[in-house]
Chain A
Amino acid sequence: MANVNDFLAALNSLSEKNSVEVFLPAVQRTVKFKPLSAKQQKSFYNCIKDNILFNTKFTLTSYTIIKDNCLEQEVVDKLTIIDRVIVLLALRKASLGSKLNVAGYDVTLDDCLQQVTNITVPTNKTVTIENIQIEIGVPLAAEQYLMEKQLRENLQSESRTIHEAAGDLILNGICLYIKKLWINGVALNYEELLYKDRLTVIESLPANTLLEIQEYASVVTNTINSILEIEVEPNTKVAVAITSDLFLN
């Protein structure tokens, strides 16, 4: 008869044995993930009452699960927000099945996952405006996690409407896309700054800089949407929402 710790170790080995293989664009190959445990699904229940603008709890919970379940830890820091979506879809499919109802249409997550191989991940690019150079790229899932942790983990509730917070939403999004920053050819240690300080830097950038970054961000958003959107009728598409609800149905 096994004791509790031995048995928990056996359960962990079982999860590794029954791992889910997921193709990840960031590393251009499949990576193995342990399937969701009951406890991990339970943690999604805690995200039901979330910050409605930033989905902070869900962002933190889902990243923690991805990190805990990835069987190649060296890959975790390379995962982008596109990979994050793919891993979450794959984990959902492996544990709760592929079928889902979106806006009254029965869809399968297989349709989403099949589209993963067709996507093109935007490469990093450098934007130069006047004396400012900015390297932008697809945000990493780890950065998204750290930003929420630093800025909003302890925020009790969000009282602003989406209109009132529109500026913050845009700036927060842009903040994640910036990888490096040079002013007059001198590198600013941007990636070492706290996120609140990064936001202060961004607020002082010229407006046309931000427009360039927003354009790049919309390409990334479209890439993610191309995975999540499923054609249910001719000229009618529905999008699978990556929220805690996906794991509670």
Chain B
Amino acid sequence: MPFKLNAYLPSKKLETQIKELYYKQYRELVKSLYNVDKKETIQQYNSILEDLCPEVAGKDITFEDKLSLLLTVRNYCVSPDLRLKCTLPDGGGFTISILVESLIESVKKIDKSGTVEYNDVTVTYSSYKIRDEYVFLSNNKDKFDILASYIDTIKIGEQSVDFKDLTFNDRLNIVTELPLELTNMLYQNIQVLEQKYEALDFITVKSPVDNSVVLRLSCNITASTLQQTISFLFTENLNNVYKAFYNIVRHAGFSADYVDSITPVELQVYWMYYMQDVEKVNAQQAENKQSTGGLPVTNNSELGF
């Protein structure tokens, strides 16, 4: 039985459980960020999320839900700290560390859901759905595309339609046939919500030199914010990722299959124990002042953590 973590889906206001992120999956997440086809990257992330949390498959989850799940696995399975290395225009630089837990708390508080009633029509909406992420990649601000993604259900009298069952084009067909007055009401409500969250900081980095803001991502989670945050969370030198895998198999003697079935943080723990053993052996050898050839391993700082 895989170990499960508690996570939160802000759009559903629901606690859920998510499986641990295995090293193999972590490697795929890191690797897919190098893919030039962003649509494929998105699909890969969504597919891994569905593997980790099958419960979300039928739920039509939002950008905020996706971010919450990714932050949770990042926090518990990779590292609780997000380290950002900033380079200033003058060539200088600094590193800051942000608690992933604080980002999880920020995302938890985002609630873009609402209901609009117009004559006999009731429309419920939450936020952008992750299956539409590619539609919004190029800063698409089309009103109808936004509504087609935001809307959850529409009810007219006794008839209702659940947008999670429909393709994007079908949703768009329905949205464009809605009374103009209703779409304007919906869009205005959404704009008010987005402006509210735009004013709230999600990630802010200030320069230690003059305290000016060098990076700001707001709590209005758009496709671009989501992409940028994901790249912060899972960007890693691919060479480090492979080298860590190689070292733990080659030198510490773990099987490749086993390494692929543990989390990156567990891998780090094993490597730490292994290094402690090596150090003990080295210390004993130094104490005995006898050269036995020693182990062929030196302290490795390229584990990618």
Query: Within 8 Å of chain A (Cβ to Cβ): is B121?
Result: yes
| Docked complex Cα distance between A41 and B143 (Å) | 11
What is the minimal beta-carbon distance from B237 to any residue of chain A, in angstroms?
46
Query: Within 8 Å of chain B (Cβ to Cβ): is A200?
Result: no
* Contacting residues, chain B, for A40 (C-beta < 8 A): 180
Interface contact B183-A4, CB-CB below 8 Å: no
Query: Within 8 Å of chain B (Cβ to Cβ): is A18?
Result: yes
What is the minimal beta-carbon distance from A41 to any residue of chain B, in angstroms?
5
Interface size class of B (residues with CB under 8 A): 20 to 34
Closest to B183 in A: A38
Interface contact B177-A11, CB-CB below 8 Å: yes
Interface contact A15-B180, CB-CB below 8 Å: no
Given contacts A7-B174, A10-B159, A41-B180, 5 further A-B contacts (CB under 8 A): A7-B156, A35-B179, A37-B180, A38-B182, A96-B181
13 sample A-B contacts, Cβ–Cβ < 8 Å, listed by A number: A1-B162, A4-B161, A8-B174, A10-B159, A11-B174, A12-B177, A17-B120, A35-B179, A35-B180, A37-B179, A38-B144, A38-B175, A95-B181
Closest to A34 in B: B179
What is the minimal beta-carbon distance from A19 to any residue of chain B, in angstroms?
11
What is the minimal beta-carbon distance from B251 to any residue of chain A, in angstroms?
58
What is the minimal beta-carbon distance from A101 to any residue of chain B, in angstroms?
17
Query: Within 8 Å of chain A (Cβ to Cβ): is B191?
Result: no
* Contacting residues, chain A, for B159 (C-beta < 8 A): 2, 6-7, 10
Query: Within 8 Å of chain A (Cβ to Cβ): is B154?
Result: yes
Q: Which residue from A1, A8, A18 sits with its C-beta under 8 Å from B179?
A: A18
Query: Within 8 Å of chain A (Cβ to Cβ): is B166?
Result: yes
Interface contact B184-A14, CB-CB below 8 Å: no
Q: Which residue from A1, A14, A17, A41 sits with its C-beta under 8 Å from B160?
A: A1
Flag A80-102 by CB within 8 Å of B: 1 or 0 each.
00000000000000111000000
Query: Within 8 Å of chain B (Cβ to Cβ): is A196?
Result: no
What is the minimal beta-carbon distance from A166 to any residue of chain B, in angstroms?
37
Interface contact A14-B173, CB-CB below 8 Å: no
